[in-house]
A = this chain, B = another copy of it.
Amino acid sequence: MTYQHILDACGLSAAETTGGTLSVTTPVDGSEIARVPMHSVADAEAAIARGVDAFDAWRKVPAPRRGALVRLLGDELRREKANLGRLVSLECGKIYQEGLGEVQEMIDICDFAVGLSRQLYGLTIASERPGHSMRETWHPLGVCGIITAFNFPAAPWCWNAALALVCGDPVIAKPSEKTPLTQLAIQKICDRAMAAFGDDAPEGLIQTLIGERDLGAALTASRDVALVSATGSVPMGKAVTADMAKRLGKTILELGGNNAMIVAPSADLEMAVRAIVFSAVGTAGQRCTSLRRLIVHEDIYDDLIPRLVKVYEGLSIGSPLEDGTLVGPLIDADAMTAMNTALEQAKAEGGTVHGGGRALAEQYPDAAYVSPAIAEMPEQSAIVHTETFAPILYVMKYTELDAAIAMQNAVPQGLSSCIFSTDVRETEHFLSAQGSDCGIANVNIGPSGAEIGGAFGGEKETGGGRESGSDAWRAYMRRQTSTVNYSRALPLAQGISFEI
């Protein structure tokens, strides 16, 4: 299947993929696969204006009916799973299996959102005043901007959009300028779903903006964008927050992670090895939930690390589109440089590095394939506190569990974490108030690969946002507390007396 076939299968037309000013290269071999027209800030403002009109109509559509649109969207995604999964793989370089996984997450969240569309539960509440009823209701919020990153060009948009749509909010996507094609393909899928849905879906309900940072800035600047949900780096997140602070707008932030696994003496090492490898080298270490730090009990260190090193040596690196590949390329040469720099620093800080370095340079001179690296560190030094978006796994020893947890919590990010242990005293302690300080804390599975049923997101510099399952939907709505006095008296709360 040629690259063009992959684009064609997603229905991307020549008008959309040629003649534009944004060059899209595939990390598979570094070749240009499209030149996409870019939107201007004026386009963004027009899109926001259409979104505002769409909101006025969409909020009036009953939520279960809104859910019907999301159901159709899920059905379209089921049909297009292979095509879209392949495009994800081509455009961002993750292996096809993971591309399919992204689409499956989109499908799952659609199913979940359909169920929500008959819930969106608020509360009725006991009132202290006779003849009064009190309730809390969740109402549609407004236009939602969704800024996503290159490493997950599909699923995070859908986590946000599926919920926002049932909640009554129009959505405007701003994908990474490195991966616009996937979003264009998704927009087509949405357009089909909306056509099948009929007139209740107003124009401007689901939109896509292709381009660079100025478009994101247009979203954060506009009072007409009620919520900006942004996935990306910590500096990006701080910039978005600072912008939104000026107008007290709402945000959902999904920023970096510096995720660790603690491996305790009682761990099933066979399982731990599998979990480590998938979470450290999957997506070539470019997941926000990628495993970056391994904190191993001293008693098993000499057993575990050599096994790991051995597995790393045997990992199949290659085109993500080919069966059997486990490690695809980094997104671009800058990422490779950053990885090399980090490994150099690791060595300078006393680390011993296994693996690392460019791979397949002859076969793919314009791509950024690397060998995943393991860096044994004498302590959790400066470089270990830094998130490098590449397959580097820093390894440290520990003696006491509380010290290991302190090490796990010592970084500024707070996204994901896990422990491998079969001792319930250790595992529950890790999950307790005195354990991991991350938004995600797992036992006997790696830090990546969350199910959509749970709330996804992290603490501290990860930004505090939550997406996907549980009650993450609330972020896309506004809360209203109401008291109805149906009596003929007017008692004041707290028993205050005020007689005019």
* Chain A residues near B (Cβ < 8 Å): 59-65, 67, 71, 97-98, 100-102, 104-105, 108, 111-140, 168, 234, 237-238, 241-242, 244-248, 250, 253, 255, 268, 271, 273-275, 277-278, 282, 311, 314-315, 326, 421-425, 427-429, 431-434, 436-445, 449-456, 459-461, 463-464, 466, 469-470, 478-488, 490, 492-498, 500
Chain A to chain B contacts (Cβ below 8 Å), 26 pairs: A60-B130, A60-B434, A62-B130, A64-B451, A101-B493, A102-B494, A104-B494, A115-B116, A118-B451, A118-B453, A119-B125, A125-B469, A127-B451, A128-B453, A129-B451, A139-B433, A237-B248, A268-B488, A274-B500, A278-B498, A315-B500, A441-B481, A449-B492, A450-B481, A451-B483, A455-B481
Nearest chain B CB to A430's CB is how many angstroms away?
A: 9
CB-based closest 4 A-B pairs: A115-B115, A428-B486, A63-B126, A122-B124
* CB-based contact A132/B445 at 8 Å: yes
Q: Which residues on B sit within 8 Å (CB–CB) of A478?
A: 437, 439, 459
Q: Which residues on B sit within 8 Å (CB–CB) of A115?
A: 111-116, 118-119
Q: Which chain B residue lies CB-closest to A67?
A: B111
Nearest chain B CB to A309's CB is how many angstroms away?
A: 13
* CB-based contact B119/A453 at 8 Å: yes
Q: Which chain B residue lies CB-closest to A136?
A: B470
Known: A133-B432, A440-B480. 9 other contacts (CB 8 A): A115-B116, A121-B123, A125-B454, A125-B470, A311-B500, A422-B423, A441-B480, A442-B485, A450-B483
Q: Which chain B residue lies CB-closest to A234?
A: B248
Q: Which chain B residue lies CB-closest to A413?
A: B248
* CB-based contact B271/A488 at 8 Å: yes
Nearest chain B CB to A310's CB is how many angstroms away?
A: 11
* CB-based contact B111/A114 at 8 Å: yes
Q: Which residues on B sit within 8 Å (CB–CB) of A168?
A: 433
Nearest chain B CB to A72's CB is how many angstroms away?
A: 11
Distance, CA A20 to CA B443, complexed state (A): 55
Distance, CA A273 to CA B128, complexed state (A): 22
Q: Which chain B residue lies CB-closest to A277?
A: B500
Q: Which chain B residue lies CB-closest to A130?
A: B62
Distance, CA A278 to CA B140, complexed state (A): 32
* CB-based contact B431/A498 at 8 Å: no
Q: Which residues on B sit within 8 Å (CB–CB) of A138?
A: 124
Q: Which residues on B sit within 8 Å (CB–CB) of A496?
A: 97-98, 100-101, 104, 449
Nearest chain B CB to A240's CB is how many angstroms away?
A: 9
* CB-based contact A245/B250 at 8 Å: no
* CB-based contact B126/A486 at 8 Å: no
Which interface residue of A65, A135, A442, A479 has the most chain B CB atoms within 10 A? A479
Q: Which residues on B sit within 8 Å (CB–CB) of A440?
A: 480-482
* CB-based contact A454/B483 at 8 Å: yes
Q: Which residues on B sit within 8 Å (CB–CB) of A253?
A: 248
* CB-based contact B424/A493 at 8 Å: no
Q: Which residues on B sit within 8 Å (CB–CB) of A311?
A: 500
Which interface residue of A429, A434, A466, A484 has the most chain B CB atoms within 10 A? A484
* CB-based contact A241/B237 at 8 Å: no
Nearest chain B CB to A436's CB is how many angstroms away?
A: 7
Distance, CA A452 to CA B273, complexed state (A): 42
Of B104, B128, B237, which contacts A451 at CB under 8 A? B128
Q: Which residues on B sit within 8 Å (CB–CB) of A271?
A: 488, 490
Q: If A425-B488, A479-B455 touch, does A495 touch B104 (CB 8 Å cutoff)?
A: yes
* CB-based contact B326/A428 at 8 Å: no
* CB-based contact B101/A484 at 8 Å: no
Distance, CA A248 to CA B97, complexed state (A): 34
* CB-based contact A133/B431 at 8 Å: yes
Nearest chain B CB to A152's CB is how many angstroms away?
A: 12
Distance, CA A466 to CA B122, complexed state (A): 15
* CB-based contact B136/A454 at 8 Å: yes
Of B282, B483, B498, which contacts A498 at CB under 8 A? B282
* CB-based contact A495/B123 at 8 Å: no
Q: Which residues on B sit within 8 Å (CB–CB) of A120?
A: 125-126
Q: Which residues on B sit within 8 Å (CB–CB) of A136?
A: 124, 454-455, 470
